[in-house]
Structure formats: structure tokens, C-alpha cells
């Protein structure tokens, strides 16, 4: 019994020794200068490279390269294999650093200490490398973006460079690159240097302390003390030195949203302007007017702007297009311009009011709430062209004639009443001549107006069959364009082609509202749906097959096709 206990203890000790020997580590030197590298060697009893977690090394060291070696040996007649992982490490900072223990299958290796001596970095003017940074605002408010700008100034050439963007160590904020990386030349103290500039947009998401760790650079430079041979310098590991630079870090206080703010959406900016323009001041029923609203602001980006909500107006339809944003950065300040077009279509004549539009915002310069205002506009909507009253010639009614008191001798031998007879004699020729004169004047005016119309339009009068055939030729390009647009299900192209077709079929048609009133009700509903898809804020899918089939099968009436001919002035 005692023998078995001793045997189990011996086996346990043997297994523990083998587990301890499962992973061992060593470094090739204990003292290095900042920028120099050293070797960290891991030895394994078995090939377990994939099971080793190297992430603890990345806190204080940069992994430059790695390689592995395998070997086989026979000890006391037993075949054993071993694997070595050789890692080249570069310290990220000076001082006494610790190479941490690594874990493999639950077992940890031993840690190592290494001393990194500081090396004075030359300024860019003296031929070195500098990493600088600026922050646009040290006391922002919630949702007020700030710009973190990094400038890398190169007094000498660098190799194998890599950047690390700024990070948030405390607080909550969004970070995104702002624009593309810029490079330009700059002369300082008579020395020309290359400057690499990159900016990030940091948007605080909550009030309180916000800690921003600066951007970092890792690169290789030539070691000026490595020797004088220029041909072997870059091939010799001693000719290259690794550098690690960190830009300034910042800790700022983010102010909360003031309790006195009355706006619906929080908006903090240094400047803000709001204006509106109309494409025309001539309002008519059914004819669209474009209202362009422009918002310009400084100190904020497009992500902080919400779409303007316009108040509804009775008897006016409003279709807002998707806003267009232009964002710019100048002198470490962000500015944005939002342009939104709104199509307005009045459906009733008379006087109407476009209500005022208010936008509350917080001025970060004065630390006060302000209101941007679009004042109300009073508009007068005229009736549409087809509802305009036209002047017509009314038929002349015969004047009332009273019968004479004495019998009338039609031969002229009777003795009529002097008063009645003179009145009747004066009225009868006047009425007849007035009728003839009015007919002649109307005919002359009508003929002259027709000739003037053809002259201004550059057309010649057409007759009968020739006119009909020419009209069919004119319609074909419009129908072809409409067919292509309907097949593509493109509402904008279909709207333009349909209007061109309507202007040929119904002369005097200037917009789709005219065309709707001239076409049957089902086709009018299709045009309404087409307009909705063109101007509606919410995107929608429009199918053009139904409209094309309706237009394709439509036969214009003789009235609409005969608008160039004059109606009979006096019926037969």
C-alpha cells in the first residue's frame, strides 16, 4: 500500500515538471534604447502555436515580426519534438517595462523585465519627426461636434509607417474621419518639410468628462549612428530605428442641454441662417411653384440637422424633395449648408397664407437660445387658364315695337301716327345695320387673330388631311419617349414626355393640371398618381405600364384636334 502511494507521488511530480516545461520564454537582452528591437523566444514541448494568446504583449510592445523553428531530438531512446516561436518586439515607450507571462493550456510562462532607455527625438526643423494635434473646442455641448486635427511634420523620410486614430478613454462619443488625408510642403527656418494632415470628427453623446487619447504613429527611420556606408545601411538591422510618437491627449467637460431650451430638436451652433425663395410670384390654380429653403450653419455637421417640417396649408399641396447637404471644413471649423426644394401646387383661387416657419437653436458663442424665422407670406392665387372668363359677342335682341294707333298702309298711302312712325323708321334700319357691322367686325378680328397666331408660332395654316398626318408625325417622338419612360418605370421622365404629348394634342396645355381636366377621369387619376410619385417625400415605386396602355389607346376627339380651325361665326 505504501509502495503505491510513493509511486503516485512520483508520477504527479513528473507530470508537473513536464507541464511546467510545456512553455518557456526568454529574451535576448535586458537593456535597449527607445526605438530598438529585441527578440522574445517561446519554446514549446509540442507544436501548439495556435493555442498561444499574444495579445498581452501589445500593451507595451509592438510586434514587428514573428517566425518559428522546429526540431527533433532523442533523449534516453525517446523521440521528442520541440518548437520555438521567435518574436521581434519594439517597446512603445521608455522606462522599465515587463514582458508579461503567456498562457498555454492553463499553464503560464515566466515574465521578464526590460529597461528601455529614452532617446531624445529631434524636432522636425532639426531633421526629426513630430506629431502635433489641435482640438477645435475645449468646452462643447452635447451633440456639438468638435474637430481633432493631427499634423505629422517630417524633417526626414520614414518607412513602414502606421497610424492609430484617437480613441475615447472616458465618456461616450462618436469618432469618424473627416475628409481625406492631405499632404503639402511647408518651409520652416529655411528647411522644407512634408506635412501630413488628418482630421477626425468627435461628437459627444453625453454630458460630463470626456477623455480623448491622442493619435499615434509607428514608423522606421534611419539610424544616423549606424555607420557611414550608405549601401549597407538599409540592409543592416542596426541601420534602422523604430520610433513611436503620440499626439497630445485631451480631457474636456461636455455641457448638458440647457433646461431653458424650448426647441423640438436640440441644435447647437455658432451661427445659423434660414432663408426661403420662390421660383415665381405668379400663382395660378394647378400650376406648381418651387420653394427653395436654405439653411446655413457653422460649428455643426450635417448629422446634427433634421429635416424641416412645414405646416400644412388648406387647399395647397406640398411635396418636399430630399434635402441636399454640403459640408465644409475651414480654419478648424465645420460648416454645413442644407438646401431643400418644396413643390407647392394650389388647388383653389383666392388669397392664401404660407405660415411662418420657426427653428429654435442654441448659440454657442452667446450661450443663449435663438430662433431662426421664415416669415409668413400672403399669396394671391389666380384661376387657371382654362377657367379665365372670355369675352363673347352676345346676339343683338330686337327692340320692342308698339303697334300704331291707325291702320298702316304698306303701300305708303296711310296716315301713320307721327311719333310712332318716326321711331319705327329709325329703329329698323339701325338694327339691321348694327347686326351686319358686328358680323363683319367679328369676322375681320377672327381672321386677323388667326393669322397673327400662325405668324408668331412660325406655322402655316393646314387643311384637312394634311394637318392630321402632320400631327401624327409630331406625336410619334413624344409617344416613343413616353413608352421608354413607362418601361423603365421612371416617373420623372414619364412626366416630361406626357406633358410634351399633351401640348401637341391639346394646344394651350401648359402643365399636367390642364391635361388632367381634358382627359377622362381614369386617365386623370393616373396623372395624379404620377405627380404623387414625383413629388412625394417618401420614396415609392411607380409602375408605368397602365399609363402607357391608356395613352396608347387614347383617340383625341375632333374638337381637340381642330383647335386651329375657326368656328362658324353665323349659323346657316
* Cβ 92 vs Cβ 99: under 8 Å: no
CATH number, domain of 292, equals: 2.60.40
pLDDT tens string 337-348: 999 999 999 999
**Residue 447: is its pLDDT beyond 60?**
no
Q: Residue 496 domain-assigned?
A: yes
- The answer on 184 and 300 residing in a single domain is no
Q: Which domain holds residue 29?
A: 21-117
- What the block records as the C-alpha cell of 57 is 504583449
Domain boundary, last residue among 254, 280, 299: 254
How much is the average pLDDT of 309-320?
A: 89
- Mean pLDDT score of the chain: 77
For 286, list phi and psi in degrees, rounded to 5.
Answer: 85, -10
- The answer on 152 and 112 residing in a single domain is no
Name residue, grid cell 396645355: 509
Q: Residue 406 domain-assigned?
A: no
Q: Residue 6 domain-assigned?
A: no
pLDDT tens string 22-72: 678 889 889 988 778 899 998 876 656 667 788 899 888 888 888 877 777
Into how many domains does the chain fold?
Answer: 4
Strands (E), 155-266: 159-164, 167-170, 173-188, 191-204, 208-213, 216-222, 240-246, 250-254
Report the candidate in 476, 474, 466, 490 with the shortest Cα–Cα distance to residue 547.
490
- The answer on 173 and 108 residing in a single domain is no
Domain boundary, last residue among 371, 386, 401: 386
- The answer on 283 and 180 residing in a single domain is no
Band (pLDDT 50/70/90 cuts) for residue 442 is: low
- The answer on 362 and 315 residing in a single domain is yes
Report the candidate in 318, 325, 319, 328 with the shortest Cα–Cα distance to residue 339.
325
Band (pLDDT 50/70/90 cuts) for residue 235 is: low
The confidence score (pLDDT) of residue 11 equals 47
Q: Which residue has the higher pLDDT, 464 or 245?
A: 245
- The answer on 524 and 486 residing in a single domain is yes
Q: Residue 164 domain-assigned?
A: yes
Q: Which residue has the higher pLDDT, 488 or 555?
A: 488
Band (pLDDT 50/70/90 cuts) for residue 207 is: very high
- The answer on 244 and 150 residing in a single domain is yes
Q: Residue 448 domain-assigned?
A: no
Q: Residue 16 domain-assigned?
A: no
Name residue, grid cell 397602365: 546
Report the candidate in 301, 298, 140 with the shortest Cα–Cα distance to residue 206.
140
The confidence score (pLDDT) of residue 496 equals 81
The confidence score (pLDDT) of residue 403 equals 36
The rounded distance, in Å, linking the Cα atoms of 368 and 364 is: 7
Share of the chain above pLDDT 90, in %: 31
The confidence score (pLDDT) of residue 418 equals 41
Domain boundary, last residue among 67, 86, 117: 117
The rounded distance, in Å, linking the Cα atoms of 339 and 341 is: 7
Q: Residue 28 domain-assigned?
A: yes
Which residues are paired to 222 by β-bridges?
A: 240
- The answer on 147 and 238 residing in a single domain is yes
**Residue 233: is its pLDDT beyond 90?**
no
Q: Residue 453 domain-assigned?
A: no
**Residue 116: is its pLDDT beyond 80?**
yes
pLDDT tens string 252-300: 999 999 999 999 899 999 999 999 999 988 999 988 899 999 999 999 9
Q: What is the DSSP string of 279-301?
A: S-S-EETT--EEEEEEEEEES--
- The answer on 542 and 502 residing in a single domain is yes
- The answer on 351 and 322 residing in a single domain is yes
- The answer on 248 and 274 residing in a single domain is no
The rounded distance, in Å, linking the Cα atoms of 317 and 388 is: 22
Comparing 17-26, 197-206, 444-453, 532-541, which segment has the lowest mean pLDDT? Answer: 444-453
**Residue 237: is its pLDDT beyond 80?**
no
DSSP type of residue 141:
B
Q: Indicate the SS3 state at residue 393.
A: coil
- The answer on 235 and 289 residing in a single domain is no
Amino acid at each position: 500500500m505504501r509502495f503505491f502511494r510513493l509511486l503516485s507521488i512520483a508520477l504527479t511530480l513528473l507530470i508537473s515538471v513536464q507541464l511546467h516545461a510545456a512553455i518557456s520564454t526568454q529574451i535576448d537582452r535586458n537593456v535597449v534604447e527607445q526605438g530598438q528591437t529585441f527578440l522574445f523566444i517561446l519554446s514549446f514541448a509540442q507544436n501548439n502555436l495556435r493555442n498561444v494568446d499574444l495579445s498581452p504583449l501589445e500593451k507595451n510592445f509592438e510586434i514587428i515580426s514573428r517566425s518559428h523553428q522546429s526540431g527533433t531530438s532523442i533523449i534516453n531512446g525517446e523521440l521528442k519534438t520541440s518548437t520555438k516561436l521567435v518574436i521581434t518586439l519594439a517597446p512603445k515607450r521608455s522606462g522599465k517595462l515587463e514582458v508579461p507571462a503567456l498562457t498555454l493550456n492553463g499553464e503560464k510562462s515566466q515574465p521578464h523585465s526590460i529597461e528601455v532607455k529614452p532617446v531624445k527625438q529631434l524636432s522636425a526643423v532639426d531633421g526629426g519627426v513630430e506629431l502635433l494635434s489641435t482640438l477645435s473646442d475645449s468646452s462643447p455641448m452635447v451633440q456639438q461636434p468638435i474637430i481633432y486635427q493631427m499634423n505629422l511634420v517630417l524633417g526626414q523620410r520614414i518607412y513602414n509607417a502606421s497610424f492609430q486614430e484617437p480613441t475615447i478613454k472616458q465618456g461616450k462619443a462618436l469618432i469618424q474621419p473627416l475628409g481625406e488625408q492631405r499632404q503639402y510642403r511647408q518651409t520652416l527656418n529655411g528647411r522644407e518639410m512634408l506635412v501630413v494632415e488628418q482630421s477626425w470628427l468627435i461628437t459627444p453623446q453625453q454630458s460630463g468628462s470626456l477623455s480623448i487619447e491622442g493619435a499615434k504613429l509607428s514608423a522606421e527611420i534611419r539610424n544616423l549612428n549606424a555607420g557611414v556606408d550608405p549601401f549597407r545601411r538599409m540592409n543592416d538591422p542596426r541601420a534602422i530605428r523604430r520610433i513611436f510618437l503620440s499626439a497630445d491627449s485631451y480631457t474636456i467637460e461636455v455641457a448638458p442641454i440647457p433646461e431653458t431650451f424650448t426647441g423640438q430638436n436640440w441644435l447647437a451652433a455658432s451661427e445659423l441662417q434660414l432663408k426661403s425663395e420662390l421660383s415665381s410670384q405668379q400663382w395660378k390654380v394647378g400650376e406648381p411653384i418651387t420653394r427653395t429653403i436654405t439653411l446655413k450653419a457653422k460649428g455643426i455637421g450635417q448629422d446634427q440637422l433634421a429635416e424641416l417640417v412645414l405646416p400644412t396649408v388648406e387647399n395647397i399641396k406640398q411635396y418636399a424633395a430630399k434635402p441636399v447637404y454640403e459640408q465644409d471644413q475651414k480654419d478648424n471649423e465645420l460648416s454645413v449648408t442644407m438646401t431643400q426644394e418644396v413643390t407647392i401646387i394650389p388647388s383653389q383661387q383666392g388669397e392664401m397664407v404660407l405660415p411662418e416657419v420657426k427653428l429654435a437653436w442654441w448659440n454657442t458663442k452667446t450661450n443663449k437660445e435663438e430662433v431662426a424665422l421664415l416669415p409668413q407670406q400672403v399669396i394671391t392665387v389666380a384661376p387657371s387658364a382654362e377657367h379665365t372668363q372670355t369675352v363673347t359677342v352676345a346676339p343683338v335682341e330686337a327692340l320692342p315695337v308698339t303697334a300704331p294707333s291707325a291702320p298702316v298702309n304698306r303701300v305708303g298711302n296711310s296716315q301713320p301716327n307721327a311719333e310712332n312712325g318716326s321711331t319705327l323708321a329709325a329703329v329698323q334700319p339701325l338694327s339691321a345695320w348694327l347686326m351686319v357691322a358686328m358680323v363683319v367686325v367679328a369676322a375681320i378680328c377672327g381672321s386677323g387673330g388667326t393669322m397673327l397666331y400662325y405668324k408668331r408660332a412660325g406655322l402655316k395654316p393646314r387643311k384637312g388631311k394634311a394637318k392630321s398626318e402632320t400631327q401624327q408625325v409630331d406625336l410619334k417622338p413624344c409617344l416613343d419617349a413616353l413608352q421608354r419612360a413607362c418601361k423603365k418605370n421612371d416617373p420623372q421622365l414619364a412626366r416630361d414626355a406626357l406633358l410634351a404629348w399633351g401640348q401637341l394634342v391639346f394646344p394651350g396645355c401648359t402643365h399636367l393640371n390642364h391635361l388632367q381636366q381634358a382627359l377622362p377621369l381614369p386617365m386623370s387619376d393616373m396623372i395624379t398618381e404620377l405627380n404623387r410619385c414625383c413629388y412625394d417625400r417618401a420614396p415609392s415605386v411607380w409602375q408605368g405600364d397602365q399609363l402607357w396602355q391608356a395613352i396608347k389607346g387614347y383617340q383625341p376627339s375632333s374638337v381637340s384636334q381642330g383647335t386651329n380651325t375657326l368656328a362658324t361665326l353665323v349659323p346657316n
